[in-house]
Structure 1
Amino acid sequence: MDPITYTSEGCGEERVIQGARMPAAEVAALVCDGIEPERITDFYPGVSAEAAGEAPEFSDYADSAPL
Structure 2
Amino acid sequence: MNEITPLFDEEVIKVLVQTRNLLEEILETLDIMADKELMEAIFKSENEIRQGKTRNFKEILKELP
Please give the TM-score of this superposition, normalised by the length of structure 1: 0.25
Greater fraction helix: 2
Instruction: Name which structure has the greater RCO, CA cutoff 8 Å, separation 6+.
Output: 1
Rg larger in structure: 2
